Amino acid sequence: MLLTATVFLPLAGAAVVLLLLGDNARRVRLFAAAVGIVDFVLALAVFLQYDRDDGGFQLTDKFASWIPQLDIQYHLAVDGLSAPLVLLTGLLGLAAIYSSWSIDKRHREYFAWLLTLQAAVMGVFTAQDFVLFFIFWELELIPMFFLISIWGSGRKEHSAMKFLLFTFTGSAFMLVGILAVYFSTCALGTCTFDMTRLVEMDLSDLLLPSQLVFALFFIAFAVKLPIFPVHTWLPDAHTDAPTAVSVMLAGVLLKMGGYGLIRINVSMFPDVASAAATALAVLAVISILYGAMVTFRQSDLKRLVANSSISHMGFVLLGISSVGATAEHLSPVGLTGAAMQLFSHGVVTGLLFVMVGVVYDKTHTRHIPDLGGLAGKMPFAAVAFLVAGLASLGLPATSGFAAEIMVFLGTFPAHGVLTGLATVGVLMAAGYVLWTLQRSLFGPRRERWDHLGDITHVEKVAPVLLMVAIMAVGLYPALLSDVFATGINEVLPRFTP
């Protein structure tokens, strides 16, 4: 029952926060932090107990009689693809709680929604029944909407509604795809929503053309990733969301899109994925370069980090497009790099948003030209910001480099020219990251910031956790790459003749 405990502990914690703790803000914060710590330990246990030598789906919790009339099962399990993402969710969930220490408005509701969000994302990464997967996917919308619309800033209601409409529309496409797959299996005499069985079945002959079903799922996951041109909800949602919500949004919610593409589009429709690989690579390059160019134009620190996510998540799609390589050049490196980018971007961008929140709390501005000289007054914060920025541009010895080099090496045999164009995005990232760090942290001292002090011990918890993850994966990528490879190696044989 380890996975069940990992998924539902935050939900149980949310119920306790709402019903039993009263209005004592300190008690609510401490209890939420305790739930976050225990859930992180459980997520770490899931990751460590996964046997990479054995591979396949493990730690299974399955009750076949959940809705027996439709063969809908309560089925949780992890493989090499999902186990590291469960760890990522536990890590960023804990970081988000510590980044919320200053919340004093309707604190019970805030922490209840934050814990519910963590439970929903955990469920997405562990559910192996299509209906259960869809329920968790939709459950995530509710806390996100309220967290942005109540505790956000600026045009918070507009941004929350925009996020809801984009994601809900994508979910509608996904639901049609799920039903098309289910009724097609019924026509074959084996009605099932079991994703582990569907991966092993030949889904090329569906009631709807397999290319159309592939497209239905792709639209849903492209919105969440997000990919140009269905990305426009992301900058608004990030800009107006509270810090911790931006951490969760960039760190794990976007990863649901990349996870879905690998788990469903690539694994269940290998022939369509291979045929569409060039189109996927083109979309990836457009997102990488477009996102980088838009990022250069930003003067709001939070909006800059938000737009950079569009560019960096393009590398995930680029790695996925490596399935278009010929049989003799097809390797697990590209897909493993895409999965590594999911984890790396989660911790790097999570740290960036934490530090943007710290800067805003201290200075009450995110306008980059108004900042400068902060390193002398906030040395620890400056170091954390610097580590996140250098990892974002792919500096060797950071997780960003490990992920991106695997994407490039795996994709080049399939799309040489497009991979070359994508490397321009790395150069552009170096430009906007270094320019931002120089303008925000260094330069001449500004008298208006002479009163600032460094961050508190509580505020240091989240940056320390994320910096350790960035450096550990950067210095020894096999910590994750070997685990991800076990999941990818289960998929790759479907592409070989």
Rounded to an integer, what distance in angstroms lies between the CA atom of residue 38 and that of residue 119? 13
The pLDDT of residue 179 is 92
Q: What percent of the chain has pLDDT over 70?
A: 99
Does residue 11 lie in a domain region? Answer: no
Helix (H, G, I), strand (E, B) or coil at 59: strand
Helix (H) or strand (E) segment spanning residue 76: strand 72-78
- Size of the chain, expressed as the number of residues it contains: 497
- Backbone Cα Rg of the chain: 22
Q: How far is Cα 131 from Cα 136, in angstroms, rounded to an integer?
A: 9
Structure-derived torsion over alpha carbons of residues 439, 441, 442, 445, reported in degrees to the nearest 10: 100
Output the six-digit token pair for 428: 């552009």
User: What φ, ψ does residue 192 adopt, rounded to 5°?
Assistant: -155, 145
> Partners of 75 in the beta sheet?
62
Return d(Cα 166, Cα 21) in angstroms, integer.
35
Count of CB atoms situated within 10 Å of the CB of 445: 14
What pLDDT score was predicted for residue 71? 79
- For 59-99, the pLDDT digits (tens) are 989 876 777 777 788 999 999 999 999 999 999 999 999 98
Whether 125 maps to a domain, the answer reads no
CA distance 218 to 283: 12
pLDDT the model gives residue 346: 92
Provide the domain limits for residue 389: 276-491
Q: Which residue has the tokens 């027996």?
A: 68
**What confidence score (pLDDT) does residue 423 get?**
92
Total structural domains within the chain: 1
**Of 393, 413, 415, 388, which is closest to residue 403 (Cα–Cα)?**
393
Q: What is the rounded distance in angstroms from the CA atom of residue 118 to the CA atom of residue 94?
A: 9
Whether the bond between 226 and the residue before it is cis, its omega within 30 degrees of 0, is yes
C-alpha to C-alpha distance for 384 and 365, rounded to whole angstroms: 19
pLDDT score at 457: 86
Looking up tokens 């790695």 gives 319
Is residue 289 situated within a structural domain? yes
In a domain, 438, yes or no: yes
* Residue 361 resides in a domain: yes
Question: Model pTM?
Answer: 0.94
Would residue 395 count as lying in a domain? Answer: yes
User: 103 lies in a domain?
Assistant: no
Tens of pLDDT, residue by residue, the chain (497 residues): 899 999 999 999 999 999 888 888 889 999 999 999 999 999 999 999 999 888 889 998 987 677 777 778 899 999 999 999 999 999 999 999 998 888 888 889 999 999 999 999 999 999 999 999 999 999 999 999 999 999 988 888 999 999 999 999 999 999 999 999 988 888 777 888 889 888 888 777 777 888 999 999 999 999 998 898 888 898 888 888 898 899 998 888 889 999 999 999 999 999 999 999 999 999 999 999 999 999 988 888 889 998 898 999 999 999 999 988 777 778 889 999 999 999 999 999 999 999 998 888 888 888 888 888 888 888 898 999 999 999 998 889 999 899 999 999 999 998 889 999 999 999 999 998 999 888 888 877 777 878 888 888 888 888 999 999 999 999 999 999 999 999 998 888 887 65
The closest of 341, 311, 308 to 409, measured between CA atoms, is 341
What's the pLDDT score for residue 189? 76
Return phi, psi of residue 423, to 5°.
Answer: -65, -20
In a domain, 98, yes or no: no
pLDDT of amino acid 496: 65
* CA 96 to chain centroid: 14
